[in-house]
Amino acid sequence: MTDYPNSEEIVDYILRITREIWEDRNPDLVMRYYGPEARIHALGGIMQGAAAVTENTRAMQAAFPDRLVIGEDVVCSPLEGGAWLSSHRIRSPMTSRGDNAYGPATGKKVTTHVIADCVVRNGLIEKEWLVRDNLSLVRQLGLDPQEVALHEAARRHPDEHSRWLDDERRRVLDAPRPPSDPASSPEPQQDPLGFAREILLGVWQRPSEYCEAAYAPYAVLSDSDREVAGASEIFSHYAALRESLKVLRLSVDHAGLQARGGGWTLAARWTAAAEHSREFEELPATRAPLFLMGISHWWLTGGRVAREWTVFDRLALMEQILRHGKTP
């Protein structure tokens, strides 16, 4: 299939190829479904080309042979030129049976939470943004997060990845500022990007009455493996993050909306330029310049957030902090 006239077909495509590659243990299919120059962006590194994605898939399957990639939701948005962007939220239970990126097998059962935004054009994935909280994975494996982060920070990273982090941080800092008080409150069905921006600015940078009113009192947040119940508790959770990670500027890079279960799921990919202002994951404040990339899914009912899923890579942020400490 080279063309997808509606979101149902692209959802089916994403779920189907994911199963074929992962549950059916057929990593060579990556060469069929990813473009030869496909580019995958993650906070911890960049992959270029279907061949590199294939090798990475083989390595992951060797490390976690029973890995399941359970699609919890896929939110699709049409793009220009007949392309689609899919935001695929995944829960992935698996057992450590072989060497992985952080060390030898531990035999431990773990569960990771992942969200992948993919651009699909003419039946091929040509670009992907991948977020996974690797800090949660490291802890579940029984490893010391600071030791792992120190090792990763000391490892030589490709210049391309360092340039990407710097360029993206500069892009966010140089972008025009959105109005501090929009003339009208954005409605999620009419302006999903505006709604996402107000929510994210409210929790990460400047609390607002609009943001507080947008959460139902019974809302539940899943921040990777952290579960927070109740709107007031969610705001306290973000207040603690704001203390550690001072967000200077935030950009919503994509937002899409899809009807789901008596309401709507809104998916937003966001990036932020920040500063390590207070202790973060037991690392004392360094004032290190940081670049964050995260993806959030909100399930809305009655016009308010009833459920939120947010994922960003805390381990990669620890690496950025520790690399800054080694900079002459």
Predicted confidence at residue 180, as pLDDT, reads 64
Give me the pLDDT at residue 156, please: 78
Domain range for 287 is 167-326
**Phi and psi torsions of 249, nearest 5°:** -145, 150
Percent of the chain with pLDDT over 90: 84
- Of residues 120 and 189, more confidence is placed in 120
State which amino acid sits at residue 205.
Q
Give the pLDDT confidence of 209-259 residue by residue, as tens digits. 989 999 999 999 999 889 999 999 999 999 999 999 999 999 999 999 999
The answer to whether residue 153 sits within a structural domain is no
What pLDDT is stored for residue 76 in this prediction?
95
One domain for residues 201 and 93: no
Domain identity same for 87 and 235: no
Instruction: Tell me, yes or no, whether 322 lies in a domain.
Output: yes
Q: How far is it, in rounded angstroms, from Cα 99 to Cα 107?
A: 10
1 found inside a domain: no
Mark whether 34 and 111 lie in a shared domain. Answer: yes
Express each pLDDT in 50-107 by its tens digit: 999 999 999 999 999 999 999 999 999 999 988 999 999 999 999 999 999 999 999 9
Q: Are residues 194 and 310 in the same domain?
A: yes
Answer yes or no: do 125 and 199 share one domain.
Answer: no
Per-residue pLDDT, 158: 82
Check whether residue 171 and residue 128 sit in a common domain.
no
Residue whose structure tokens are 């990556």: 30
In sequence order, the 6+-apart residues with CB closer than 8 A to the CB of 235 are 203, 207, 212, 215
Residue ending a domain, choose from 132, 155, 180: 132
Residues 6+ away with beta carbon under 8 Å from 247: 204, 205, 272, 273, 274, 292
Q: How confident is the model at residue 326 (pLDDT cuts 50, 70, 90)?
A: low
Sorting pLDDT into bands at 50, 70 and 90, what band is 7? Answer: confident
Segment 152-163, tens digit of pLDDT: 999 877 888 999
As a whole number, mean pLDDT of residues 41-50 equals 95
Phi then psi for residue 127, to 5 deg, are -155, 145
Whether residues 317 and 201 fall in one domain: yes
Domain co-membership, 108 together with 210:
no
pLDDT value at residue 95? 98
User: Residues 180, 122: one domain?
Assistant: no
pTM of the model: 0.95
Provide the pLDDT for residue 8: 83
**Amino acid 328: pLDDT:** 40
Query: Phi-psi category of 312—alpha, beta or left, where left has phi over 0 and alpha has psi -120 to 50?
Result: beta
CB 289 within 8 A of CB 217: no
Q: Given strand 84-95, what is the order of strands in its sheet? A: 45-48, 34-42, 124-132, 109-121, 84-95, 70-78
In this structure, of 64-68, 170-174, 260-264, 291-295, the range with the lowest mean pLDDT score is 260-264
| Chain segment 178-188, per-residue pLDDT in tens | 766 665 678 88
Average pLDDT, the chain: 93
Q: What is the pLDDT of residues 113-127, one digit of tens each?
A: 999 999 999 999 999
Q: How many independent structural domains does the chain possess? A: 2
Q: Of the candidates 132, 148, 183, which is a domain's last residue?
A: 132
- For residues 181 and 128, membership in a common domain is answered with no
Q: Which of 132, 157, 176 is the last residue of a domain?
A: 132
Look at residue 149 and tell me if it is in a domain: no
CATH number at residue 77: 3.10.450.50
Ranges 2-11, 65-74, 107-116, 282-291: which has the least confidence: 2-11
Q: What is the pLDDT of residue 224?
A: 85
Task: Indicate whether 158 belongs to any domain.
Answer: no
Residues 207 and 262 in one domain: yes
Q: Do 48 and 189 belong together in one domain?
A: no
